[in-house]
Structure 1
Amino acid sequence: MSQLPRFAALPVGIVVAVQAVVLTALSGRYGFHRDELYFVAAGRRPDWGYVDNPPITPWLARASTALFGETPMGLRVAATLLGMATVVVVALIAREFGGGRGVQLFTAISTALSTYVLVVSHMLATNSADVLLWSLIAFFGLRLLRTGDGRWWLAVGAATGLGLANKWLVLLLLSGLGVGVAVAGPRRVLATWWLAAGAGIAVVLAAPVVLWQASHGWPMLTVAGGISEDDGVENRVLFVPMQLVLLSPVLVPVWIAGLVRPWRDPGLRWARALAIAYPVVCLELLVLGGKPYYSVPLLLPLVALGAEPVLRWLGRGGTVRRALIAAAAAVCVAVSVLIGLPVVPAPALNGPLLAMNKEPGEQVGWPDFADSVAGAWQRIPDTERDTAVILAGNYGEAGAIERYGPERGLPQPYSPHMSYADWGPPPDRLVGPVLLIGRIQPGTPASRLITGCRPVAKHRNADGVDNDEQGVVLSLCSLTRPWSVAWPQLRHYY
């Protein structure tokens, strides 16, 4: 196609404006997610890397809280902006395929209301930036394939470098697109020095992150290997079903149409690499045992590709067909909102909603948790409290105590989990009681280092939400070796 339609700035802008209003209005409900507490803590300790993720998301957490306040609403400004940008980029992708005003509007609405985008736009996660960066790489890559202008390799390289500084899953996207171009072309885009220039930009941007990981023993690969080992079977079993529901069941025919369209429309032969990339990425994830949602960002460009034929099909349908489809779409949108946004009272989360998406439950009860820890802390005799240590079982617990503890008279917590292990150990002068959060598994090194545990409290959140901290036991224990000796043996990644 020689001339693209105009970008539907006004209707897409209205969608983005409504998206911003809704996300902002709901961003203060419930509270911080455990991962958000971890990112806020990591943002206070800026570095080129962390055990389980590169630095972009913690940096965003620091910037957002510095500008808008260290509250859930202040932190989530960053997530909202990333979600808005994702909607605009995916609408631009629809334009690349020749989609006019209606197609771009449909794509923008579909993207904004999809379950996955709602979830990652409501709370700040590594996926919040990841979905935008995948969309940008797809957009720049499709521009390159459509125009044959090698200069777009520079944009692809820049987006890739930023993607690697946020999450290394972009390598799956690049491999999928690379296989697609090798199989279906247009291969002429590979025969240019602009490719080397784009790769150079990506290397320069990603180098500090890669060097940090290398100097720390590649901990991200250790974490990824643990995910595959612990959850690989479950991930493989659920992979295909989750592809059908993570975006939205009503959008499945749309992205399937996107997979088919380049093979039926001679004018879109250049886009066949995108249709090949998705099954390639899915196959890689099945082999690696990756989580099903890792491939979902690639479905958004396919929705943009399939939007036009689906709208044409709907236009040919009768009133009954359109009414049935509208009803199905309304139900799916309602389910997406219920799953992805905090629209129900916290006590109502227990049951189907948490079964479909556990993340809202991890946003409930952290101030209550800090109260429970503060109550247990008071069980330590005054004469021993100055040398006592709070040892959290995971980064969410440590992040919550770090955020809410000072106003409750609690000291800095420690945890051997993920990057909190790098921010320890406690000083060896702290030889008093250990306030342990959680239980120690028998037969582990920790069971020989932390002994004599006496339960003093059990945490219950006020809303009764069945999350990971509900019912956690708090115990007073003794340490058998100095912290500097014990700490390497206590460290854990899962």
Structure 2
Amino acid sequence: MSATHVRAQVASFAAAPVLGVAVAVAAVLTALSGRYGFHRDELYFLVAGDHPAWGYVDQPPLTPLAARLSTAVFGDSPAGLRVVATLACAATVVTVAAVARELGGGRAAQVLAAACTAVSGFVLAVGHLVSTATFDMLAWVVVCWLLLRLLRTGDRRLWLAVGAALGVGMQNKYLVALLALALLAALLATGPRHVLRGWWPLAGAAVALAVALPSLWWQAAHGWPQLTVAGGISADDGAENRVLFVPQQIVFLSPVFVPVWIAGGLRLWRDPALRWARAFVPAYLLLAVVVVVSGGKPYYCLPLLLVLLAAGCVASVSRPRAMWPAVAVTAVISALISLPVLPPGAVGAVNGVNKEQGEQIGWPQLADAVADAWSAVPAADRPRAVVFAQNYGEAGALAHYGPARGVPAPYSAHMSFADWGPPPDSATGPVLLVRQREADGLEQYFTDCRQVGSVDNGHDVGNEEQLAAVVLCAAPNAPWSQLWSWLRHYY
């Protein structure tokens, strides 16, 4: 089949209804964006955005930059911060509809693909919060859409656009390189291989490298700390991630959508008219193997599932009586699990499924507990005193909420906060330490420690900081410049 003939078979893009779905999900996300409060990662991104750099120990610069831009334009609040996440989610919905179009979907299939994406639990979860996964998901589906268009049309000039999308994605999260490698291996194994010939693919790779180079250079200059972080994630959560991989592949989008994306994979693999797109099936399987073996997060595979879902929507559109009720049921369930629709006191009902819900509750209360303890530090001691937080969520909360409560800028040795410290050696104490309840081993680095307070989020939500300890220590047991390398941790 010639490229010209294939191009003629593609339906026009259903712009109005697809954009209507995107606007609807954006409206829901906007309406709920101010509930609960900041997530611990968002508080970290806010501080990182105030320390602009080409990289951080645990991520490239795009997400902190987006956080800084969004709050500068829309206000320093959860609602202002999350505008960029809302826009990224809406763009993801539109792009998946465009993927369905490339795979032969007409108007109805494109709208169905957009709707299934918009109500999927994980898509809503990362669309509500600013996270690296928010922009990573968008980058992956854009790369997939561009590659599908290249494969369908045979226009190898699109390698430049694919490379640009990969480069931008790598400025957000290096994980997108795994997508590129999986797709490359699948194309070599199943074809069409002719799109890999000539200098256009090399030019696309050069564009990707050029765009990503500043961040990669930063990582290389700092000893590739991202690899240390990834190793820590695998060591801490790898076994759990392997056990949960299959269940989470089922629930990420929606259990009722599983037959749709399975049908989509079978369609890509079996349909002679889509032989040019079959590489996406082994690419997903290969990526799944890599994620399981490495102990990575199961959601890493989600964007390729969205491609299979789009392919399945083309086949499922002939059964609207089954599909649209499934979309409605999924919308209700996903909203309860992924969005802040419940009263804060009821979050415990869904926190076991989506713990990120609980991580948006209790940060002002943590700052209140630290402020109460700080007020008890004698005024004569405060010039030498230090507020030290165990992790970046606590430090981010104190950086955001502390000034209004009279709490000085916090220090932490967690992730990139370690690069923004240590305190001066002249800060000989006292040290006001905030730590999670079970992390009492941290006190070995200080002298004469006693707990003077604890954190209560006021809603009995069992998140990571509920009942966190506020501990007053007389002094560090060594100068901060010596202590810092012992305190520094990446996970």
Task: Give me the TM-score of the superposition, normalised by structure 2.
Answer: 0.96
The correspondence for 1:218, drawn from 206, 224, 244, is: 224
Task: Choose from 2, 7, 19 the match for 2:7.
Answer: 2
2:345 is the alignment partner of 1:347: yes
- Is 1:371 the counterpart of 2:368? The answer is yes
* Distance change in 2, residues 1:220/1:342 (3 Å): same
Pairs within 5 Å for 1:46-445: 46-312=52-318, 314=319, 322=321, 327-351=325-349, 353-438=350-435
Cα separation, 2, equivalents of 1:393 and 1:265: 54
Distance in 1, matches of 2:439 and 2:183, equals 47
> Could you give the per-residue CA deviations for residues 321-366 of structure 1, whole angstroms, max 9, x where no partner exists?
x46x655543332111111111111100113x00100001100111
Mapped partners of 2:437, 2:430: distance in 1: 16
> What count of residue pairs does the alignment treat as equivalent?
484
Q: Is the 8 A contact 1:440 1:447 kept in 2?
A: no
3-state SS, counterpart of residue 267 of structure 1: helix
CA deviation digits over 1:178-214, x for unaligned, max 9? 1210111000011020111111111111111011011
* Residue pair 2:119, 2:330 contacting (<8 A) in 1 also: no
Which of 302-311 and 62-71 deviates more?
302-311
Equivalent residue number for residue 26 of structure 2: 20
Q: What is the match of residue 470 of structure 2? A: 474
Deviation digits for residues 269-325 of structure 1 (CA, Å, limit 9, x no counterpart): 00001111111100000110101111111111111111111223x26xxxxxx46x6
Deviation at 1:479, TM superposition (A): 0.8
Change (3 A) 1:202 1:37: same
Alignment deviations for residues 435-456 of structure 1 (CA, whole Å, 9 cap, x no partner): 0112698996x55431321000
Letter in 2 for 1:397: E
How far apart in 2 are the matches of 1:448 and 1:90? Answer: 52
2:45 corresponds in structure 1 to 39
Superimposed CA distance per residue, residues 456-479 of structure 1 (whole angstroms, 9 cap, x where no aligned partner): 001101222111110011111121
Task: Give the % identical residues.
Answer: 55
Name the amino acid aligned to 1:164: M
Alpha-carbon separation, structure 2, partners of 1:462 and 1:287: 41
In structure 2, the residue matched to 1:456 is 452
In 2 relative to 1, CA 349–5 (structure 1 residues): closer, same or farther, beyond 3 Å?
A: same
Rounded to whole Å, the distance in 2 between the matches of 1:490 and 1:78 is 34
d(CA) in 2 for partners of 1:329 and 1:419? 41
Per the alignment, in what secondary structure is the counterpart of residue 155 of structure 1?
helix
Query: Is the 1:390–1:434 contact (alpha carbons within 8 Å) kept by the matching residues of 2?
Result: yes
Partner of 1:244, secondary structure, is helix
Give the superposed CA RMSD. Answer: 1.5
List, as ranges, runs of 4+ consecutive aligned residues in structure 1 with deviation greater than 4 Å. 325-329, 439-444
**Closer/same/farther in 2, CA of residues 442 and 56 from structure 1, 3 Å limit:** closer
The alpha-carbon deviation at position 32 of structure 1 amounts to 0.4
Say if 2:437 and 2:469, in contact at 8 Å, map to a contact too.
no
Superimposed CA distance per residue, residues 165-186 of structure 1 (whole angstroms, 9 cap, x where no aligned partner)? 1111112211211121011100
What SS does the corresponding residue of 2:278 show, helix, strand or coil? Answer: helix
CA distance in 1, matches of 2:267, 2:159: 25
- Tell me, yes or no, if the aligned pair for 1:441 and 1:447 is still in contact at 8 Å: no
Equivalent position of 2:3 in the other structure: none
